[in-house]
Structure 1
Amino acid sequence: MQQALRKRILVTGGAGFIGSHLCERLLEFGHDVLCVDNFFTGTRDNVLHLLDNPHFELLRHDVTFPLYVEVDEIYNLACPASPVHYQRDPVQTTKTSVHGAINMLGLAKRLRAKILQASTSEVYGDPEVHPQPEAYWGRVNTVGPRACYDEGKRCAETLFFDYHRQHGLRIKVARIFNTYGPRMQPNDGRVVSNFIVQALRDEPITLYGDGRQTRSFCYVDDLVEGLIRLMATTDDVTGPVNLGNPQEFTICELAMQVLAETGTGSELIHEPLPEDDPRQRQPDIRLARELLDWQPRVALAQGLAHTVRYFRERTGA
């Protein structure tokens, strides 16, 4: 990449699972990357291999407080994204989504920078429309245990579009569906990491409910490609745009694929379904195909192989 095309890019939550992969890819494209994280769920281990890169900078900072830097683009990924983590301190989760959005939007307004919000499929709640298109407004319990995340992200979307309408800010909103891959935390409570870690430890695999609820799993490399393509669109493309894999699996089917990939004989056990846990989750990605020329390319079996290898190396199993 020629020097004239180099951009200064801020990634909040950049030491997290998705954020670290995004930082890595942006550096490969020749940009200067400022990674900001308070390490609530992110970890320095995820970006240790980037610290010697002269175009990478790591800053410990909480986005609920203002940040004063000079950048050209902002990817706002800061927020715990798994139920175990975001329910640990629900008030802080909401503040991260809402105050963090206000602070990053204020920074973008001052700099006239383009800004992308990492929103979530959780804005659809427990959906009555399947698969979920961007035009669907969702079905969310505003007072349930998941509301700190669901409603925090919904409010952040509102703020982004109000800044766009009121101040002409160049915004992009991505609604991220279930994503998996290397650098997931083994204790984050997400279904893919839970199943892999339990299988590698020869522990029973825990299914919540009857295991017939569905999810759609997107490999992290595909997701990062979608984020970068969305950021590169013209200013009239704001989103929201669904980013996820439209291939749908039951949780039981995922468990069987994990058992096949790990080669272990863990039994399946059932626990009660958590409150407000969605029964169905599948993205309608027609808009992403049309606007971004994007769709996932990594099949679940291939992505699980990469992810199991990562957890084997991390746990020594």
Structure 2
Amino acid sequence: MIRKVATMQDSRLRELGGARVLVTGGGGLVGSRIVALLKANGAQARVLDRLDAYPHPVRRLFDIDANAAEVVLGDVREAATVRWLIQQADYVIHAAAYADVAACTRKPEVAFAANLQGTQTVLQETLRSPVKRLVFVSSASVYGNGGDDVQEFTESQPLVPISVYANTKLWGEHQVRLMLGGSEGQQYSVLRYFSVYGEPQVPKPGSHSWMVPWLSMSAQLGLPMRLNGGGRQVRDMVHVDDIARATVLALIADGAADQTINVGSGRGTSVREIAEVIARHYPEAELIDAPLPGGDPLGGYADTRRSRELLGWKPTITLEAGIDRYVTWLKSNPDVVPNWMAPSSSALAV
């Protein structure tokens, strides 16, 4: 199945025709969408990925082999592999990361190895290469808690991460600026993604992220839709197609050079409200409250002025339309629901 690039066409991306782009972490949900968009605009994307973040039945949905010029099975900590790929690249999108908040909390040593050591290796090899610009994928989690009032997160405000994952992303941002900020002939862009969702996203066991697939699949299985923290957390939801377009634009937009930019919709929605939108598709769904996991921020929404002014970007897919797309896809592909989510006596007793 070759997935069509569903993002709005942007003539500026044609500037990348013939360009060679290394996408670390290009085998995941976001990375694979970036690779597809690059191909659609005439660029050659090479992927470096361990390909272990998702089981094969899920990974095959991302169409990596169909869209990448080359897929290299490897680790961003392997300097020789990274050097070989970067020496062939005009641009780098560094999206590889141990990106599960709960998993990073359980295994901080793995998070440090992937997100710190791996990023350092990519930066060192970029400095020795002909790469014009590196885009570093960061996260809105660096802002920390939004407080009791719904907060608009602005790129220049103080950052107070409350999870291991967020801490590693903040370190990565600092290191990108330190190493590439004064580099002659090389530029960087730091993108802070807000809450990414979209088909064919599938949740991971033991995680409290990826709320749209979690809640949708729970409802489809007849399980309660668990609202951690009562669903009072606020999220700025951005469809993966819009995320991919912003990321590729950051490679070439003049205003994005050496800048940190939020990638969000500017709309804050509570987790409970998101669940209620999903529940419209499942009239029998039951919403129940559950404890708030550690490291799960109360959240907020993006100040979008920089993304509009520096990238010339704004999202094109509303939350309601994106959820409708996701549920429609899920109902058409019920076999994508992981076996570990299937109803059991223990699951139904939560």
Same fold per TM (> 0.5)? yes
Give the whole-Å Cα distance in 2 for the aligned partners of 1:218 and 1:314. Answer: 22
Say yes or no: does 1:309 pair with 2:328.
Answer: yes
Give the match for residue 214 of structure 1. Answer: 234
Q: Which runs of 5+ in 1 are unaligned?
A: none
Q: 1:17 aligns with which of 29, 35, 46?
A: 29
Secondary structure at the aligned position of 1:160 is classed as helix
Q: 2:176 aligns with which of 156, 160, 168?
A: 160
Secondary structure at the aligned position of 1:159 is classed as helix
Counterparts of 1:258-277 in structure 2, within 5 Å, are 258-261=278-281, 263-277=282-296
Give the whole-Å Cα distance in 2 for the aligned partners of 1:120 and 1:32. Answer: 26
Secondary structure at the aligned position of 2:330 is classed as helix
Give the match for residue 118 of structure 1. Answer: 137
Give every structure 1 segment of 4 or more consecutive aligned residues whose post-TM-superposition deviation is greater than 4 Å: 1-4
**More deviation, 111-120/82-91:** 82-91
Distance 1:274 1:236, change over 3 A: closer
* Root-mean-square deviation (Å): 2.3
Deviation at 1:234, TM superposition (A): 2.3
Distance 1:28 1:236, change over 3 A: closer
Deviation at 1:231, TM superposition (A): 1.4
CA offsets 1:38-79 (integer angstroms, 9 cap, x no match)? 1231466346634255x6211111112211221111100001
Deviation at 1:87, TM superposition (A): 3.6
Identity rate of aligned residues, in percent? 24
Deviation at 1:274, TM superposition (A): 1.3
**Amino acid of the residue matched to residue 76 of structure 2?**
V
Give the whole-Å Cα distance in 2 for the aligned partners of 1:43 and 1:177. Answer: 25
Deviation at 1:2, TM superposition (A): 8.8
Q: 1:186 aligns with which of 203, 208, 225?
A: 203
**Amino acid of the residue matched to residue 22 of structure 1?**
I
Give the match for residue 9 of structure 2. Answer: none
Deviation at 1:167, TM superposition (A): 2.9
Q: 1:60 aligns with which of 55, 73, 84?
A: 73
Distance 1:314 1:194, change over 3 A: same
Secondary structure at the aligned position of 2:97 is classed as coil
**More deviation, 22-31/158-167:** 158-167
**Amino acid of the residue matched to residue 45 of structure 2?**
V
Give the match for residue 228 of structure 1. Answer: 248
Give the whole-Å Cα distance in 1 for the aligned partners of 2:62 and 2:212. Answer: 24
Secondary structure at the aligned position of 1:131 is classed as strand
CA offsets 1:84-136 (integer angstroms, 9 cap, x no match)? 44345321112211111111112221113121100000111113582000001
CA offsets 1:204-262 (integer angstroms, 9 cap, x no match)? 0000112222111101111111111111122772221000111111111111101113x
Give the match for residue 283 of structure 1. Answer: 302
**Amino acid of the residue matched to residue 266 of structure 2?**
P
Give the match for residue 151 of structure 1. Answer: 167
| Superposition TM-score, scaled by structure 2 size | 0.82
Q: Which runs of 5+ in 2 are unaligned?
A: 1-12, 338-350
Give the whole-Å Cα distance in 1 for the aligned partners of 2:308 and 2:16. Answer: 30
Say yes or no: does 1:41 pair with 2:53.
Answer: yes
8 Å CA contact 2:98–2:115 kept in 1: the answer is no
Give the whole-Å Cα distance in 1 for the aligned partners of 2:46 and 2:139. Answer: 23
Give the whole-Å Cα distance in 2 for the aligned partners of 1:237 and 1:303. Answer: 30
Instruction: Tell me the number of residue pairs that the alignment of Structure 1 and Structure 2 aligns.
Output: 310
Distance 1:2 1:16, change over 3 A: closer
Deviation at 1:166, TM superposition (A): 4.2
**Amino acid of the residue matched to residue 316 of structure 2?**
R
**Amino acid of the residue matched to residue 165 of structure 1?**
G
8 Å CA contact 2:181–2:258 kept in 1: the answer is no
Counterparts of 1:54-203 in structure 2, within 5 Å, are 56-66=69-79, 67=82, 68-69=84-85, 70-113=88-131, 114-128=133-147, 130-141=151-162, 146-147=163-164, 149-168=165-184, 169-187=186-204, 189-190=208-209, 191-203=211-223
8 Å CA contact 1:123–1:154 kept in 2: the answer is yes
**Amino acid of the residue matched to residue 200 of structure 1?**
Q
**Amino acid of the residue matched to residue 181 of structure 1?**
G
Give the whole-Å Cα distance in 2 for the aligned partners of 1:193 and 1:52. Answer: 25
| Superposition TM-score, scaled by structure 1 size | 0.90
**Amino acid of the residue matched to residue 144 of structure 2?**
G
Give the whole-Å Cα distance in 1 for the aligned partners of 2:170 and 2:309. Answer: 24
Give the match for residue 30 of structure 1. Answer: 42
Secondary structure at the aligned position of 1:135 is classed as coil
Deviation at 1:311, TM superposition (A): 2.6
8 Å CA contact 1:177–1:243 kept in 2: the answer is yes
Give the whole-Å Cα distance in 2 for the aligned partners of 1:43 and 1:281. Answer: 32
Distance 1:298 1:48, change over 3 A: closer
